[in-house]
Each structure stands twice: as structure tokens, then as C-alpha cells.
Amino acid sequence: MQSLKTDMITVTCKINGKEYSGMVEPRTLLVHFLRDDLNLTGTHIGCDTGHCGACTIFMNGKTVKSCMVLAIQAQGANLMTVEGLADGDKLHPIQEAYWENHGLQCGYCTPGMLMSSLFLLQRNPDPTEEEIRRGIEGNLCRCTGYVNIVKSIKAAAKKMQQQQGSAAPSIQAKAGH
């Protein structure tokens, strides 16, 4: 019987502050490892060319498109996914802002959009509208027309500035800083 199987490789990494381990093929994409093996289905897949950004997560402090990363590249890495944004029951200010400003409709692009929003605000706590739009250029949305997403990020920026010092540290740690 013909077989194309290759040796499986163990990948161990930290995700949302917790250690995860699994066996993958060398070709397994990180997004499939998260969704299928680790049951972290909040990260989504929307294309095959790295355009849509629905798979955006944090890897070692920076956002990456997890469909463009092999699972084995995450060996020893510090990851954060959308499941790690909230602190238990307490929503992150970015999540609150999206909820209050109708920054989502079908919710499919939302996890990736939230990750990119967070990355933007970490580097630029008070962005202009142009800077916001540039910051989420790699995340496609077909429902909202981006208007309320921009509004949500502006509101999130305000919230985060007000909450300076309280929510930031644990998110920083989770995001791998």
C-alpha cells in the first residue's frame, strides 16, 4: 500500500499562558494545529493565500498569520489567540469596545481583527483614523464595511488609556513580551 506518511514531530508551546503539546506532520499549518489538535477553534481560516487575516494570532509578541506558519515553527514559542484576550470573565477593553460599537456582524473575521487591533494599540496607543485603517489592512471584513471596526478601535484606545497599568501586564505576558 502506498503511503506518503512522514515521521510525526512533537511541538510544545505556550498558548494563552498555558502549556500545550501535540504531534504534527512537518507540513501541518499552525492554524490547523490550533483548531484541529488543540481545540482552539476561535482562530479562523478564510483564504489560502495569506490575505484575509482571519487566522491572525500573536507569536512571541508580534502578530502573525497562522496559516502562513508551520506548526513546527511554533516549537517553544509564546502564543496568544483570541481565547486568551479575556481575563477569566472579564473582557478585554478591546472586546468591550467592539461589543459596544457593533464592530462585528457574522464574527468570522473578528478574532483576527481583535488581535491586529491589540497589536496596533500596543505600538500606537492613540492612532489616527488613517493609522487605524493601516493597522488592520491585513484583515478583511465583508460584513461591516470597516466603519464600526474603526469606531471600535478608537473607543478601545480610549478605554485602554484610562485603564493604563491594570489590564496591560497580563496581556503583555500572554502576548510574549
Binder among 9, 22, 45, 60 for another protein (CB under 8 A) = 45
Grid coordinates of 90: 472579564
- Whose cell is 470573565? That residue is 89
139 binds another protein (CB under 8 A): yes
- Whose cell is 508551546? That residue is 13
57-76 binders of another protein (CB under 8 A): none
Grid coordinates of 7: 515521521
Cβ proximity to another protein, 62 vs 134, nearer residue: 134
Beta strand pairing status for 18-24 and 56-59? unpaired
Binder among 11, 28, 58, 80 for another protein (CB under 8 A) = 28
Segment interacting with another protein (CB under 8 A) among 31-39, 58-66, 68-76, 157-165: 31-39
Cβ proximity to another protein, 122 vs 144, nearer residue: 144
- Strand stretches in the chain, DSSP E: 9-15, 18-24, 56-59, 62-65, 78-80
21 binds another protein (CB under 8 A): no
Beta strand pairing status for 78-80 and 56-59? antiparallel
Segment interacting with another protein (CB under 8 A) among 20-28, 68-76, 156-164, 166-174: 20-28
Coil, strand or helix at 33: helix
Can you tell me the distance from the alpha carbon of 109 to that of 142, in angstroms, rounded to the nearest whole number?
A: 9
Residues that bind another protein (CB under 8 A): 1-5, 25, 27-28, 32, 35, 39-49, 51-52, 54, 81-83, 85-86, 91, 95, 98-100, 102, 104-111, 114, 129, 132-134, 136-150
